[in-house]
Structure 1
Amino acid sequence: MSGHLHGVVHNTRADPARVLEELKRQTLEQLGGLPGSLYGPIEDALKADSLKGDGRNHQFEDQAALWVLRQQQASHVMAFRQQIAAGFEAYRAPGAAVGGVGGSPLTLVGEQQLAFDLDGERLIELLEHRYQRPLEMVRARLQMLAQALGAPDGVNPIGPYRLVRAFTSVYADAQVTESLRMRLFRQYEQELARLLGDMYARINQLLATAGYGMAAGAPPPAAGPARAAAEDRRDRNTLDGVFDTVPHREAAASVPHDYQQGSYPPPAGPGASPGYAAQGAPVSQVEVAAMAAELAELRTQLHAWREGMIKTGGLPPGHQPQRTMAQRRELRVDEVVGMASLLQPEPSDAFARALAVSGRLGETIRDQLYDGARRLGFNPDQTCFSPEEDDAIDLVALLFDSLFRNHALQDRARRVYARLVMPYVKVALTDNEVFVKREHPARRLLDAITEACEGNDGETPQDRDLLERASDISQRIVSDYNEDLAVFELAHAELDAMLAQHRRRIELQEQRAAKATYGRERLGAARSQADQAVRERIADGKLTSAVADFISTPWRHHLVQVLLRENEDPKRRAQAMALGDALVMADKLAAENRGRELADQLLALQPIIIQCLSSSGLDESAAQHAMAGLVRALATPDKERADHPQPSAAEVEEDVAEERRRYLDDQAAQGGHDPLLAERMRQLEPGDWLRLTNLQGETIAVKVAWLSPLTSRLLLVNRRGVRALVASAEELAVLASNGRLVVGAERTAFDEAMRQVRRHLDRVI
């Protein structure tokens, strides 16, 4: 192994083809046992579950399906290795086919393959977040390698996309039960978490040693004052207020892809171990450095906010750090943790009341801790919290306040969160990585609890079960947590297993909302076309009432049905249109007393007229009767003819109108929109998250679930998959101009809460 530091550019570069081949060899060496190594742990877990006697009946099916997979273990391992190798070949020669991973023609997919693809997308997203920094370094160096090869920069052959697609392609033809599929993905995620950190570090070292490292620049600047960061953001394009900026993402981006070991200290705190995650998985030095820089920036913002609030009197006396009033002994972390442990099992009514009023939680936490200090024999007049302890208290208070301000949490959820306040204060005191590390067990548990509680009013039995399970888990954290994060991991695993079905219901809800919206749009488009056809034929001249009524009612309805059900059959559509023209012509023949031609015309039209009447709901007898009435009306040449009113424009559906009244007032709806904003809204894609505020000031996170191919409108759904708004890009631009729409909500509740905490700190400074 070379002793060169990461990030040093060497004058001599190794042959890029040989370097890529070495990368493939090391990757296959690290991952070559997958997916065969997954089956043993899964089998052990199935045996353990079968001994629990929990009444479930799916263990036998899972064991049978797993037995079949184990018989094909060798072929699965070979197929996986072939897919990984094919990814490298595709990177070397982008035109090469990579079966099962990409480049396949569009085909119909089965339900099992769709389920694998959905789970794969979630795992890809998780891995992208978890290994964001080392992946950025790998991509930058691979881009230099691709340039040396003379090939365009393709898909990272060792990135999450390739690794997950290689995994899912192995089971394309396998018969796997739903619960076994979930176990496979969970075990694969655990194996990748064990292997990828070290593998990415080796790959980066190999590329750097081969001369494909980026130039070592100046060390990243120290975290500047939050005020300067806020002023810098204010100097940007004014539209950045609509597309939300994330201060901690900007701070992380300032950390260069290449670093030298030891340039950053590891995150402080008794629970933080350099190079290792909270759950024991290895963490690369890049992640350690980025978390340290992010945490330093967050502390800088927090200190500036606190000092500004103290100077302006924005903090009540009980909330102000006591060290600002007199020189007192700073309490040690273990002393404050002892106070929190004393208060943890006690009733949380004070925290529940504080959560109902924004800004009161920090004051309440300090009051409770001072009360605990008195019980333990500490004199609050002679002691105070240290800066780190103040930071932990304020960050927990701001975090929980943000959760309740920006998520649709019901009153019942307030007691769940109130019980968690003191345990999370203890976590923040002993392990400050919880604020910057997405995989932290306490962070993942809070995400799961928020997912279970957000927008949950307990209307269905499933929703009530979720609320009860979240309440039970919060109580278990209170009773069991004693500075061991394994309690959070076990609680999260239990709740996440229950949420898996909940997420599936949300996906189905989104699909149903999209299908219902598309169906209404198709119906609206068909009605508009039919109304236009009626206008063109009625406007041609004076018609008898019988013909005008037939065109405006049965024929219009028949045309709508044809456009909806047989839109791809141009012959049937042309036949329906021709019927309207023929009826107008028949009326003219009757007016000109051309009886023989009229009779021939009606005889030829009789079958399609009967069919038209039948599609309007008439039986054969009623259709024949209506046909006779039409013939009698046309048989009289001097029948009165007059102009007839044309159909009005189609009315907006009531539910769509209600949605617009909730978010767009009449003045805003009639006003113009910013073309640049509308163009940026058209760039939104399914999966993008936004924050939407109604006219009453209530804010919810919404996701772009679907884009209409007919009207280009966007379907926005809340975190429970329920339709929130269907709007055009222009309407979204109006909402954004009025400050009621912001693009950039995070996918998880904790990330979104921390984003709002940073924005709050910036605004107050």
Structure 2
Amino acid sequence: MSVPTPTHATRGEPLRVLEEIKRQAVEQLGSIPDALYPGIEQALSVALQSGDVGPGHFEDLTSLRMLRQQAATLLMRYRQQLAKGFDDFRGLRVRSRGDLPLGLIEDSHLAFHLDGQRVIEALDGRFAEPLQVMRQRLHAMAEALGMPEVANPIGPERLIGAFVESFRETEPTPHVRELLFRQYEGELTRRLGDFYGRANALLAATGYGRSAPSSHTSTQHGYRHETVESVPYRGQVAMTGMEAMHGAMGRMEGYGDGHGGSAGGYGGMSVPGEDIADLRTMLRMWRDGTLQTPQSGAGGADAQSRSQASRQEHGMGARRELRVDEMLSVVSMLQSEPPDAFARALAGPGRLGAAIRDHLSDGARRIGVDPDQTRFSADEEDAIDLVALLFDSLFRTNSLQDRARRLYGRLVLPYVKVALTDDGLFVQREHPARKLLDSITEACEGNQANTPQERELLDRAAAASQRVVAEYNEDVAVFELAHAELDSLLGQHRRRSALQEERLVKATLGRERLDQARETADDALMKRLRTTRLTPAVADFLAMPWRHHIVQTLLRDEDPQRRDEAIALGDALLLADRLAAENRGRELADHLLSIEPLVLRCLASSGLDDSAAQHGLAGLVRALASPDGPRRAQTAKPLAGGETVESGEERRLWLAGGTATVGHAPEVAARMRELAIGDWVRLTDVHGEIVAAKIAWVSPMTSRFLLVNRRGLRVLVASAEELAVMHEDGRLVIGSERSAFDEAMRRVRERLDNTAAAD
């Protein structure tokens, strides 16, 4: 079969290529302003909870509220600014310098420009390589348009300019302006890596910049040309003009979410869309026996038998490949049958691929196709293996309970059918089937069905899977409808989780303040007990009411003078005991009268009313009235330490040894300190279960990290040193993807890469 000459070697019409990049820029980057406000609100809330706020905090909140009220206008203005960058490139808005108005820049506008320049420099350094490649390709496009050299319409300078033009008239407070730029820089860092890759691939695919004819042998399944990004082409071979351009952009949807390029995101691995071709190649090498199977147990034997069968088939040449329509007929017939075989296969790694093949072979026999005379095509084998590895990885990287196996087993064949007909499942972030699987995993992960809300989530996830089984017939709209229904309930669940997380942050901060207050009171008491011999009454007063008074004052009273008075009361009682021992009665009486208000206040903080407090004071006076009373060195049990903050169950993931005392690698601990609020990690608990956890809060007092699960429940509170030890032990993986599908596919690729390296 002859293959048409690849059309990507000829340059596409520049205006249409530029319009496509513009569409993608507005679509992918145009929503950034709306993503800034939650992060600013969280930063202000954390500052308030930690007490690190100044007199302008109220003005900051008011400024943020005003920004939210203008959100729709600012979003539209920002999108217009993005589009104007492309108009400038096309020469539609080019003005001479003599036409530009001159005038003084207001201080607030100047601050915007200075902050913007700092972000431009940071982004230029971070994305230097793709920007250099893009600059050469846009120069070729400008020459094709007959235009002089103009600025990159999606370069950092233009993107920051669009932001400054959109927001500078809002006049936010200096702190909110700083947070705005910080959040904007973070959003650009997360999005630009994938976006620049897609834009460069599109320019190369349509003939701008370095490209070379394909060196691969053309097949009936398509071809691959050797650009810098190696953009894969699949589906119809004869793609021309905008079809090729849309195909290139669609294939460049990546797996990662920017962890690999973000500060502190070590350990993440970005898997761009072009790697799907390499993934297929590795799968086929594995099936041919060149690589050892990445699965274990039954999977290894299965791969070996397939390898032998493949060699026999190539030698005999007697078995024909199943046509796609035959394969789809088999899958459609089996789709509604009970998923027991797949549920059992998901109980152990490496079994699902064999279960799918056995089930499909049995189905082929039932429609009159002899499995002994037919075999799966390479693309069909790819679809089976990718779905099997995907579902296996989902169960290994998420805390999915036994009840979820049947639910996922029900989805196996519908996803095989999607994989057979649509490569977008593995390369497009917004694919409906991909979004549905993410939502189902979110609903099922760690769900023990202990509460009515958790049971409702499981029931809705089960209903979504049943709807797909009943209605899916090669129209992915059913996945979109099922996802919309499930996501509406997940939205409520996420809001409950956010509230639970907020309560946890407050509770943890309160507990740390309590521990710190107790440690301060213990230190003050032990210091005084060690310095002198005391009467039992004074020692008991110091160990109980006075120490408790210090704790309460530190927690409840922000007045430094009150705190100093609480500490000074202990020294005053030591002086009273010394005056009594020296039989200096008149001085003792005067001294007790002077500290009487402080003693009564101390007793009142322990919950005593006026009468009880007066009685307690009288007992202390009687004890001091006898100068010959016995005096000895006193001791007291510390209030702090032990299990005063978390119960044993809450501390089940903690490491023994405290914080910096545990043995750890300093460089790993330094990486852990770079973790930011909102970053996701995966932990392996003491029972061997994998738990997805998010950094919800970093203590301003102890620098410990609070990690919560998707339900807003505490998973772990640990220092950077403890996290470093867990990482070195293989119990902690950072750089986890936010999407369960992305994370599962990343693990699939890692397994295949590791297998290739081992071979």
| Length-normalised TM-score, structure 2 | 0.69
Give matches, 1:121-520, under 5 Å.
Answer: 158=159, 162=163, 216=210, 256=228, 264-268=231-235, 284=249, 287=252, 293-306=274-287, 307=289, 308-309=291-292, 314-316=300-302, 320=306, 322-326=309-313, 327=317, 328-520=319-511
| Contact residue 441 and residue 489 of structure 1 kept, 8 A | yes
Superposed CA offset, 1:528-584 (max 9, x none): 111111111112200111111111111111111111122x32111111111111111
Query: What RMSD in Å do the two structures reach over aligned CA positions?
Result: 5.2
Q: 1:745 to 1:482 in 2, by over 3 A?
A: same
324-333 or 387-396, larger mean C-alpha shift: 324-333
Give the secondary-structure state (helix, strand or coil) at the position aligned to 1:543: coil
**Amino acid paired to 2:77:** R
Name the structure 1 match of 2:592: 602
**Amino acid paired to 1:297:** D
Measured after TM superposition, the shift of residue 627 of structure 1 is 0.9
Structure 1 stretches lacking a partner, 5+ long: 9-21, 39-72, 105-127, 173-192, 224-253
**Amino acid paired to 1:696:** H
| Contact residue 538 and residue 644 of structure 1 kept, 8 A | yes
Measured after TM superposition, the shift of residue 760 of structure 1 is 2.0
300-309 or 726-735, larger mean C-alpha shift: 300-309
**Amino acid paired to 1:427:** V
Measured after TM superposition, the shift of residue 429 of structure 1 is 0.8
Which residue of the other structure, out of 729, 748, 760, is the alignment partner of 2:739? 748
| Contact residue 535 and residue 577 of structure 2 kept, 8 A | yes
Q: 1:609 to 1:438 in 2, by over 3 A?
A: same
- Distance, in Å, in 2 between the alignment partners of 1:267 and 1:431 is 10
Measured after TM superposition, the shift of residue 216 of structure 1 is 4.1
1:706 aligns with 2:697: yes
Structure 2 stretches lacking a partner, 5+ long: 1-8, 35-68, 86-99, 116-122, 140-148, 174-190, 218-225, 255-270
- Distance, in Å, in 1 between the alignment partners of 2:169 and 2:433 is 30
Measured after TM superposition, the shift of residue 516 of structure 1 is 1.3
1:733 aligns with 2:724: yes
- Distance, in Å, in 1 between the alignment partners of 2:169 and 2:252 is 28
Name the structure 1 match of 2:260: none
Measured after TM superposition, the shift of residue 682 of structure 1 is 1.1
- Distance, in Å, in 2 between the alignment partners of 1:596 and 1:739 is 70
1:625 aligns with 2:649: no
Measured after TM superposition, the shift of residue 286 of structure 1 is 7.6
- Distance, in Å, in 2 between the alignment partners of 1:495 and 1:439 is 16
- Distance, in Å, in 1 between the alignment partners of 2:80 and 2:650 is 48
Give the secondary-structure state (helix, strand or coil) at the position aligned to 1:641: coil
Q: 1:292 to 1:666 in 2, by over 3 A?
A: closer
- Distance, in Å, in 1 between the alignment partners of 2:161 and 2:499 is 26
Give matches, 1:11-160, under 5 Å.
Answer: 77=73, 80-81=76-77, 97=108, 158=159
Q: 1:84 to 1:644 in 2, by over 3 A?
A: farther
- Distance, in Å, in 1 between the alignment partners of 2:162 and 2:445 is 30
Give the secondary-structure state (helix, strand or coil) at the position aligned to 2:628: coil
Q: 1:269 to 1:419 in 2, by over 3 A?
A: farther
Measured after TM superposition, the shift of residue 762 of structure 1 is 2.6
- Distance, in Å, in 1 between the alignment partners of 2:165 and 2:236 is 35
Measured after TM superposition, the shift of residue 446 of structure 1 is 0.2
Superposed CA offset, 1:611-631 (max 9, x none): 111111112221111111111
- Distance, in Å, in 2 between the alignment partners of 1:482 and 1:170 is 54
Measured after TM superposition, the shift of residue 671 of structure 1 is 5.2
| Contact residue 709 and residue 715 of structure 2 kept, 8 A | yes
Give the secondary-structure state (helix, strand or coil) at the position aligned to 2:707: strand
Name the structure 2 match of 1:48: none
- Distance, in Å, in 1 between the alignment partners of 2:579 and 2:398 is 68
Name the structure 2 match of 1:585: 575
| Contact residue 77 and residue 166 of structure 2 kept, 8 A | no
Q: 1:446 to 1:731 in 2, by over 3 A?
A: same
| Contact residue 133 and residue 286 of structure 1 kept, 8 A | no
| Contact residue 689 and residue 701 of structure 1 kept, 8 A | yes
Measured after TM superposition, the shift of residue 655 of structure 1 is 3.0
- Distance, in Å, in 1 between the alignment partners of 2:603 and 2:133 is 65
Q: 1:301 to 1:94 in 2, by over 3 A?
A: farther
Q: 1:397 to 1:332 in 2, by over 3 A?
A: same
Q: 1:414 to 1:515 in 2, by over 3 A?
A: same
**Amino acid paired to 1:309:** Q
Q: 1:707 to 1:481 in 2, by over 3 A?
A: same
Name the structure 1 match of 2:58: none
- Distance, in Å, in 2 between the alignment partners of 1:171 and 1:163 is 12
Measured after TM superposition, the shift of residue 266 of structure 1 is 2.5
Give the secondary-structure state (helix, strand or coil) at the position aligned to 1:320: helix
1:759 aligns with 2:724: no
| Length-normalised TM-score, structure 1 | 0.69
- Distance, in Å, in 1 between the alignment partners of 2:696 and 2:676 is 8
Q: 1:292 to 1:543 in 2, by over 3 A?
A: closer
- Distance, in Å, in 1 between the alignment partners of 2:446 and 2:565 is 50
Measured after TM superposition, the shift of residue 302 of structure 1 is 2.1
| Contact residue 535 and residue 647 of structure 1 kept, 8 A | no
Q: 1:650 to 1:155 in 2, by over 3 A?
A: farther
**Amino acid paired to 1:287:** M
Name the structure 1 match of 2:63: none
Give the secondary-structure state (helix, strand or coil) at the position aligned to 2:302: coil
Measured after TM superposition, the shift of residue 635 of structure 1 is 1.1
Name the structure 2 match of 1:523: 514
| Contact residue 445 and residue 488 of structure 1 kept, 8 A | yes
92-101 or 524-533, larger mean C-alpha shift: 92-101
| Contact residue 134 and residue 286 of structure 1 kept, 8 A | no
- Distance, in Å, in 1 between the alignment partners of 2:77 and 2:521 is 57
| Contact residue 156 and residue 162 of structure 1 kept, 8 A | no
- Distance, in Å, in 2 between the alignment partners of 1:273 and 1:149 is 28
**Amino acid paired to 1:302:** L
Give the secondary-structure state (helix, strand or coil) at the position aligned to 1:704: strand
Q: 1:264 to 1:85 in 2, by over 3 A?
A: closer
Q: 1:291 to 1:763 in 2, by over 3 A?
A: closer
Superposed CA offset, 1:224-276 (max 9, x none): xxxxxxxxxxxxxxxxxxxxxxxxxxxxxx985xx7xxx74423389x99978
Aligned length in residues: 614
- Distance, in Å, in 2 between the alignment partners of 1:140 and 1:458 is 51
Measured after TM superposition, the shift of residue 696 of structure 1 is 2.7
Give the secondary-structure state (helix, strand or coil) at the position aligned to 2:487: helix
503-512 or 378-387, larger mean C-alpha shift: 503-512
Measured after TM superposition, the shift of residue 657 of structure 1 is 5.1
Name the structure 1 match of 2:553: 562
| Contact residue 84 and residue 166 of structure 1 kept, 8 A | no
Give the secondary-structure state (helix, strand or coil) at the position aligned to 2:252: helix
- Distance, in Å, in 2 between the alignment partners of 1:219 and 1:170 is 53
